[in-house]
């Protein structure tokens, strides 16, 4: 990399952080809950909700192969902003392929979309 490049990265990062009012602490409790479980063909799906930040709710489906008894490879599937979020057919197909390959898969709804948007509306009475 040419001399002088890269030195401005920290200044840019600091400027962005200042513009958004700083970063929230990263050591907040996640408060995870399993809200339901569905049986699949060779796997189960656990419906999960947690708080990555205080009062910010994230919903996910965790696909777990049958017979898992120890540590296992895992994939975090970040969904795009499709209307159905993690329930979109394309994302479901990917999750099924991966779980049938023996991997644990966590399919996460985008923030403010899918089940998380309904939770936010119930809690606050409107979208924020």
Query: Would you say 94 and 101 are in contact if contact means Cβ atoms under 8 Å apart?
Result: no
Per-residue pLDDT of the chain (128 residues), as tens digits, is 456 666 688 889 889 988 988 877 778 889 999 999 999 999 999 999 998 877 788 889 999 999 998 899 999 998 877 676 777 778 889 999 999 999 999 999 877 665 555 555 455 444 44
The structure tokens listed for 44 are 């189960």
For residue 124, the model assigns a pLDDT of 47
Q: What is the CA radius of gyration of the chain?
A: 18
Residue with tokens 């489906």: 61
Q: How many CA atoms lie less than 13 Å away from 108 in the CB half-sphere?
A: 12
pTM score of the predicted model: 0.71
């Amino acid at each position: 990399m040419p001399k002088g490049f890269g030195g401005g990265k920290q200044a840019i990062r600091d400027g962005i952080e200042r513009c958004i009012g700083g970063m929230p602490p990263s050591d907040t409790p996640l408060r995870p809950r399993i809200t339901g479980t569905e049986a699949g063909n060779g796997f189960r799906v656990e419906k999960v909700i947690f708080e990555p930040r205080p009062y910010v709710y994230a919903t996910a489906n965790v696909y777990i192969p049958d017979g898992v008894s120890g540590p296992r490879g895992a994939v975090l599937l970040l969904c795009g902003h499709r209307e159905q979020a993690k329930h979109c057919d394309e994302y479901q197909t990917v999750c099924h392929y991966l779980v049938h390959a023996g991997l644990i898969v966590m399919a996460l709804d985008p923030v403010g979309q899918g089940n998380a948007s309904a939770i936010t509306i119930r809690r606050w009475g409107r979208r924020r």
